[in-house]
Amino acid sequence: MTDRVVVSTPANVSAPDQGAVYGANPLPVWLFLAGNVVMVCSLWLLGAGGMVSKLILLVFWLLMIAGFGRRLRFSGEVICGVFLLGGLMALVGTGNGAGPEKLRLIGNLLMLPVGLLAGMLIGRACLWIMMPALVLYLPLSSSFYVTHEGMRLNHPFLFLGLFALCSVTAWRGGKVVAGIAALAVLLSQTRIAVLAMMINLAGRIRFSSIWTWMVGSCVIAATAWVVADHLPRLLMTHGSGRLSFWRDFADMWVAAPTTHKWLGFGAGSVEHILSGYASFASFGALHNDHFRMLFETGIIGAGIWTIGWFLMIWMVRPSRLSVCILLSVMVTMVTDNSLNYGHYLMCCGIAAGIAARGNAQHG
């Protein structure tokens, strides 16, 4: 994390003036300190419910983008992405649902794109703000809790976000922090988080090297033995009740009026319906963000959501690591509520943006 802030020129962002005010200067000390204070406060406020915490996170990085990107002009891909995101937010805002639920969903939708743009514009300097805050917060707030499937470590997605940031850092200690984050994800016994971490890791592996296969085979064998012996939940194939809920919501959507099929039931409708279930306290949400978008925003919203994912991946396609990071996020949304995890989405967006920026500068 020792590089300087350089105005980037990735495939989707062009800089008309390479001598821009932030061109070759490191982060000012005041910005480094203020950014870390803001991020730590945002993380600690997660326990208060998350909405204020995510608002602080989002506003800060929007201000960072405004400060670093005011002299840049963007390509058609970025402009198209902005219009798609704006259309989806307008659909949510004008649809059914309570005002706070609409604002919450809109804020969640902004996290990954804002992080991606910040990483592209600012580069590895973003790590000076995100990583120290996470490294400070996670050891102090992490703990094991008892379930019927054994002991599990909390904060799997925050550790997963830290792992994503470590995958793009130039700091020598980054590998050590990445290893600790990876171990924490394993100890959480969250299967989809472990799968996402493996997809992220695939973006860094040199598959053409014989050493990769030799060392990798030993590591995989050792990890498999440890998992089978001490982390049995990772090998379980049950859906924790998800399939039953998905089936119920699919039946509701099929039987819904045409208007609801096209425009959705509205923001917050999933939680409102689930609150009537006896198991809501333990289950809490639908655990499938892609299906949730279809249910709450309809065919139109799900179509924009899908196109938006393809557009983001297309924008970063020259960087295998960027593509893998975005795919890992997409995968977590199949069986979890990743759209609600603002800090995780911001970390992955920043990491994917940094990787895309680095590829454009060296590719």
Q: Which residue has the higher pLDDT, 64 or 241?
A: 64
CB atoms within 10 A of CB 263: 19
pLDDT at 208: 67
Alpha-carbon distance values, 342 to 104, 144, 247, 277, 310 (Å): 10, 22, 27, 26, 21
Cα(236)–Cα(138) distance, integer angstroms: 27
Residue 151's pLDDT is what? Answer: 79
Instruction: Give the list of residues 6+ apart from residue 85 with CB closer than 8 angstroms, or none.
Output: 109, 110, 113, 308
Q: What does the pLDDT look like over 170-216, one tens digit per residue?
A: 888 999 999 999 999 999 989 999 999 999 999 988 766 676 656 66
What is the three-class DSSP state of 73? strand
Residue 150's SS3 state is: strand
Give the residue among 129, 125, 128 at the shortest CA–CA distance from 22: 125
Rounded-to-integer distance, Cα 259 and Cα 262, Å: 5
- Say if CB 42 and CB 343 are below 8 A apart: yes
Average pLDDT over residues 252-278: 91
Q: How many CB atoms are located within 10 Å of the residue 209 CB? A: 11
Instruction: Point out the least confidently predicted range of 18-22, 65-69, 240-244, 299-303.
Output: 18-22
Find out whether 24 and 18 touch, Cβ atoms under 8 Å: no
Section 255-279 average pLDDT: 90
pTM beyond cutoff 0.85: yes
What is the structure's pLDDT at 313?
96
